Structures are given as structure tokens and as C-alpha cells.
Amino acid sequence: MVGLSIGEKHFIQGGIAQDLRSDGRKRLTTRPIYVETGVISQANGSARVRMGATDVIASVKAELGRPNALQPDKGKVVVNVDCSPTAAPMFEGRGGEELSAELSVALQRCLLGGKSGSGAGIDLSSLVVVEGKICWDLYIDGLVVSSDGNLLDALGAAIKAALSNTGIPKVNVAAGASGDEQPEVDVSDEEFLQFDTSRVPVIVTLTKVGRHYIVDATSEEESQMCLAVSISIDRQGHICGLTKRGGAGLDPSIILDMISVAKTVSEQLINTLDSHIAAAEAGEEES
């Protein structure tokens, strides 16, 4: 928890009310984003994203597995977040464990939609190799290196960049397997299929401080929030997931207004993030 004096609290709240935040931003302006891809050589894909002083890393590991019996035509995605104790004092001990679990669940919800798979930003059917028998399991790991607010959005951006950097090995399936027999497969070490990220959303968190919403809140601003709603939105403007923390219930009309604001912010965020990812990938190829 950020310790602030009464004067500092009034300064933050007053600035937000006047649409002039402590760092000079307007309420709906994000901090500059820095993206680096291919930061972990052992992973199938990885990326590092910095938003202000918030610094996170995401990696993707692909392993062959067996589809769930209830969803034989879909692969599986598991998201796990680890908050480094050195990132912030609050991450030491149980505080870090609880936040890691909260972020993992929120990212899973924002990226994969409902339990039925509706609204999923990741096409799980594209991960199937042989229906009912073989699929790709994607293990997405996030690491919080440094924290200055808005962790969920930063991790979402890092995951999108890491998936853009991900190559799935080409799999050749041997013919002849019948019935319940597990077919033999040959996994290529040289040929890789680029993961399709066209539907992978960005996450926009609207943090309510007083009567106003802000995006990309710093830790100091988050300490003054009454609630926050995180909405994942893809390039087509479709809502992939929504999660809320803090505060009481929200009137449906307020939620609709927040979704409208988030869609506007997401358009610019997606364009900015995609251009940074493309530049990072081009730089990686040159090196």
C-alpha cells in the first residue's frame, strides 16, 4: 500500500478532477509504452513491456498434450503470474501470492472469455493437432519485475507481444492410427507456424477516483481508487472479458458508459502496441 499524506491525497484527487494528473497526463491518456520481444531464448515466444515504471515480462511455452474430453476440438491455455518480491514491498509473503493468483485469474478471464470459450481472444480450436487426441497446450507465464500501477493492462500487453513472437513447431501426423490409438507425430525443429494474434485483445482498466475514471493508473492513483473495471477488447471492438475489483455493485448504465470509454481508448492502444511490436520484431530479426 502506498503511504500518502492528506495533502498528497488531495493533490492527486484534485488533479484528476481537473483533468490534469500528477505526471501531466489527462484522465484518458496512457503512459509511453516500451516493447522488447524475444527476451527469453528457451521459450517459444516472449516479450518485455514497460509502461512508465511498471515493468513486466511474459513468456509462452508450447507443449503437446491431450484435449479435454469435454472440448475435444480445442487446445488448452494456462496463465500464471508471479510477482517478484523485489518489485514492491507489498509483494513479499502472502501479499505477493494473493496478487499473483488474482492477476492470473483476471488474465485468464480477459483472454479466454467464459467457461464455454465464448468471447475468447485466443482461438483454442487452432491449437488442435488431431481432434480428441493431440493438441498444443500453451503455458503463458507473466513476471512482474517492477510495479507502479496498472499491472493487469501491462501484463495483457506483454502477453499479446509474446504471442506475436511465438512460433508453434510444425507437426506431421503419421497415418494409420485408428480408434483409440494415439497417432505418432513428428515435431519439426526447423519449421514453425506463426501464432495468429489478430483476435488477441488488449486490456483497458478504468480506475474510478472520486467521480472520474482514469486509465493506466499509477500506484499512487490506485491507492485513492474506489473501484476498477478491466475490459479486454480486440481490434474489431468485441468485448472478450470483463473483471472488477473493489467497491460495491455498479449500475448497468455506468458499466455501458465504461465499456464505451474503454473501446475508444483501446483503439489507440492497439495501434500503438501493434506498431511497437512490429518494430521490436524487426529489430530482433536484424540482430
Express each pLDDT in 17-27 by its tens digit. Answer: 999 999 999 99
Q: What is the DSSP letter of 145?
A: E
Instruction: Determine the pLDDT at residue 282.
Output: 84
Domain span at residue 183?
9-286
pTM above 0.85, yes or no: yes
Whole-number Å distance between alpha carbons of 142 and 277 = 17
Question: Residue 260: pLDDT above 90?
Answer: yes
Instruction: Determine the pLDDT at residue 85.
Output: 79
Whole-number Å distance between alpha carbons of 43 and 142 = 12
Instruction: Determine the pLDDT at residue 99.
Output: 87
**Segments of 42-112 assigned E as strands:** 45-51, 54-65, 76-83
Nearest CA among 140, 137, 122, 127 for reference residue 47: 140
φ/ψ (deg, to 5) at 118: -70, 135
Asked whether residue 275 is assigned to any structural domain, the reply reads yes
Neighbour count for residue 101 (Cβ, 10 Å):
13
Whole-number Å distance between alpha carbons of 171 and 266 = 35
Residue 38 maps to which CATH number? Answer: 3.30.230.70
Asked whether residue 211 is assigned to any structural domain, the reply reads yes
| Distances, alpha carbon 221 to alpha carbons 39, 149, 175, 261, in Å | 30, 8, 59, 19
* Chain centroid to CA 145: 15
Q: Which residue has better confidence, 174 or 223?
A: 223
Q: Which residue has better confidence, 162 or 124?
A: 162
Whole-number Å distance between alpha carbons of 51 and 49 = 7
Q: Judging by DSSP bridges, how do beta strands 202-209 and 227-233 pair with one another?
A: antiparallel
Asked whether residue 4 is assigned to any structural domain, the reply reads no
Where does the pLDDT of residue 153 fall: very low under 50, low under 70, confident under 90, or very high at 90 and above? very high
Whole-number Å distance between alpha carbons of 237 and 248 = 27
Q: What is the DSSP letter of 122?
A: S
Instruction: Determine the pLDDT at residue 71.
Output: 87
Region 81-108: mean pLDDT is 81
Asked whether residue 107 is assigned to any structural domain, the reply reads yes
Q: How many domains does the structure of the chain reveal?
A: 1
Asked whether residue 173 is assigned to any structural domain, the reply reads yes
Asked whether residue 18 is assigned to any structural domain, the reply reads yes
Find the distance separating the first CA and the last CA of the chain, reported in whole Å.
41
C-alpha cell at 37: 520481444
Instruction: Determine the pLDDT at residue 206.
Output: 95
Q: Of 116-125, 179-188, 234-243, which has the strongest mean pLDDT?
A: 234-243
Task: Say if CB 172 and CB 123 are below 8 A apart.
Answer: no
Q: Is residue 279 within a helix (H) or strand (E), and if so which, with residue range?
A: helix 252-286
Q: Which residue has better confidence, 5 or 176?
A: 5
State the chain's mean pLDDT as an integer.
87
Question: Residue 33: pLDDT above 90?
Answer: yes
Asked whether residue 105 is assigned to any structural domain, the reply reads yes
Question: Residue 118: pLDDT above 70?
Answer: no
Instruction: Determine the pLDDT at residue 114.
Output: 60
- C-alpha torsion sign, points 99, 100, 101, 106: positive
Region 172-197: mean pLDDT is 78
Whole-number Å distance between alpha carbons of 193 and 172 = 13
Question: Residue 116: pLDDT above 60?
Answer: no
Residues 6+ away with beta carbon under 8 Å from 19: 26, 27, 212
Instruction: Determine the pLDDT at residue 115.
Output: 60
Q: Is the backbone of residue 38 left (phi > 0), alpha (psi -120 to 50) or beta?
A: left
Asked whether residue 1 is assigned to any structural domain, the reply reads no
